[in-house]
Amino acid sequence: MSAGPRSRELYARACQIMPAGVSSPVRAFGSVGGQPLFYDHAAGCRFTDADGREFVDYVGSWGPLILGHAHPAVVEAVTAAAAAGTSFGAPCARELELAELVISAVPFLEMVRFVSSGTEAVMSAVRLARGVTGRDAIVKFTGCYHGHADYLLVAAGSGLATFGTPSSAGVPASSAAHTLVLPLADEAAFRKLMAERGGEVAAVVIEGVPANNGLLPQTPAFVAALRDECDRHGAMLILDEVITGFRLGPDGAAGLYGVVPDLATYGKVIGGGLPVGAYGGRREHMERLAPLGPVYQAGTLSGNPVAMAAGAAALRELLADDGRAWRRLDELGERLERGLREVFVRRGVPWSVVRRGSILWLALQEGPPPVAAEGIDPEAAGRYARLHAALLERGIYLAPSAYEVMFVSTAHDEAAIDQTVAAFSDAIRAIEW
């Protein structure tokens, strides 16, 4: 299904005044063909596009909508907050409420600071780590995305560890000169790098579960090695939980792996659908931030009262009934995973489904699912593009990129999951592979 006439009309207008007609590259349909659908309205797990066609949504605003679109509690909280003032640029009780909810749910957090995006959260956490340690170098991993700060937009070079080279035009090579890049799932390479250069490293940063280049879960042993080497060399471990924080449970990937990072970053879910980011850690580190300490970070709209209200409403729903929502999410994710696996077997395609809780990814290739970006079959993108188009014809909306994940919400009931599985079966049957 291509975009309908109204979506095509809107897209043509958008392309005249916005680069590629979108405000973020991933929203374009370049890698799957066709033109983007324009949303009109949404509720629960479904949205209606500008042409009046309804879809089951597995993008969910790229992860924040863990309760589904327009959840009544979130809408009510946002409405009340907006009526009392949409922005203050000053402290407010709603900001304190969300901070208390976050800290009470995550055992190792003692203090947090709010920002307005995940990019800001990671950028600020790295600056803080550099300020605490007095060092410049950071270690990141291929396949992990931490926002679009210059020094994090780097890719691996030809060796196991290289100085980062920019992967975007407009990023000076000097801005990435202190970024060291390693492959995921290679403990030996990481320990070797730290043995040689650990004294230069301010921070090691990794996504809780790498989910921006496929879903690439790491072993607890690998994550434990990161913690071990950071301790040995006086570096700080930054766990980027922008996607996984409050998505995998109250303590996110940190709880999944049983690791305590020095700093953690959050976004997505804690905003309840509005732009919110945060970073936090132990008091001794967070008190190095201005105005208490020498590490400067600021944001005019940080702690926005409407966004704080949305985030607090979402977290209260998740934390109610002893975390029943996360158990429900896992049940729904498991139902979808099981159904898709059965379809792949029945249709004779050698694909697999990777899942962590309510996050799923389609590994459209033979063999075991990859655990590092280097293991992803480049031919999988073409398979995904054909599948994506066929699913749109059947009312199922996936991200317009083979490397993005699917998000299940509490609004995805059994009927929506079963509709999705049936659509996959029909789509695969209809496509020539």
What does the DSSP assignment read for 10-58? HHHHHHHHSGGG-SSGGGS-TTT-S-PPPEEEEEBTEEEETTS-EEEES
Q: Which of 268, 190, 266 is nearest to 235 (CA)?
A: 190
Q: How many CB atoms lie within 10 A of CB 180?
A: 22
- Using CA atoms, how far residue 216 sits from 119, 362, 364, in Å, is 20, 11, 14
Maximum C-alpha span of the chain: 62
- Where does residue 415 rank: exposed (0-12), middle (13-18), buried (19+ CB within 10 A)? exposed
Is 268 tagged catalytic? yes
Tokens describing residue 418: 């079963």
Cβ 360 vs Cβ 336: under 8 Å: yes
Cβ 45 vs Cβ 69: under 8 Å: yes
Is 150 tagged catalytic? no
Q: How many residues does the chain have?
A: 433
* Annotated catalytic residue, options 140, 151, 262, 268: 268
CA end-to-end distance (rounded Å), the chain: 18
The DSSP letter of residue 363 is E
E strand map for 50-110: 54-57
- Give the integer Cα–Cα distance in Å for 265 and 279: 4
* Annotated catalytic residue, options 49, 186, 240, 262: 240
Phi, psi of 187 (to 5 degrees): -65, -40
* Annotated catalytic residue, options 145, 151, 397, 403: 145
Tokens describing residue 358: 């309510």
Tokens describing residue 165: 């080279």
Tokens describing residue 160: 């196991």
DSSP 3-state assignment of 5?
A: helix
Tokens describing residue 49: 């596009």
Is 145 tagged catalytic? yes
- Give the integer Cα–Cα distance in Å for 132 and 285: 7
Residues forming the active site: 145, 240, 268
